[in-house]
Amino acid sequence: MEECHKKDFLPFTCSGCGQQFCLDHRTFEQHNCQNPQKAVEALFCPLCNQSISIKKGQNRNDRLDEHIEGGCKLSAAAERRKEAKQKGKCSLPSCGKFELMPIICKQCNKQFCVRHRLEPDHMCGRMNQSNNSKSSQENNTMNNNAQRSENC
């Protein structure tokens, strides 16, 4: 305000007129704001969790109904919930458990629940492949040794 010469290092910006004021003159009444109708209130939609602005004099319920009928992103919110649920699902087909914190197998890079987190518990594909390759190497070694002993 012109008559107030108070130095305020954190001035308030009026939502009605856009001017900056000190703590003592921040309200519409204290600085005689010419445009106090621009004051808005926020309401959160219970369906999509989006912020809805409510201007002074508007009915909260009417504004919420208008939002729901006109542009509520209920399907988007449902899709986000579905994605979040899928992110926590155990990768073992016979298990349907969901975990909040992902437990990812270092061998196969799939996500599992606490019960199936260990490689033997979820029949880890890479573990089976490595076991198969080890057993085939062992078989080859045994066959080679058997052939050598026959030749002696």
User: pLDDT tens, position by position, for the chain (152 residues)?
Assistant: 567 878 778 888 887 788 888 888 888 888 888 877 655 688 888 877 788 888 777 888 898 888 888 877 766 667 777 777 677 788 888 888 888 887 889 888 888 899 998 988 888 875 545 545 544 555 555 555 555 555 55
How distant, in Å, are the alpha carbons of 15, 125, 131 from that of 120?
62, 10, 12
Residue 136 lies in a domain: yes
The verdict on 106 and 79 lying in the same domain is no
Residue 53 lies in a domain: yes
**CATH for 117:** 4.10.1110.10
The verdict on 105 and 140 lying in the same domain is yes
In the block, residue with structure tokens 């009444």: 29
- Residue span of the structural domain in which 49 resides: 45-87
- At 25 the pLDDT is 85
Number of domains in the chain: 3
Give the Cβ contact number of residue 65 at 10 Å.
Answer: 11
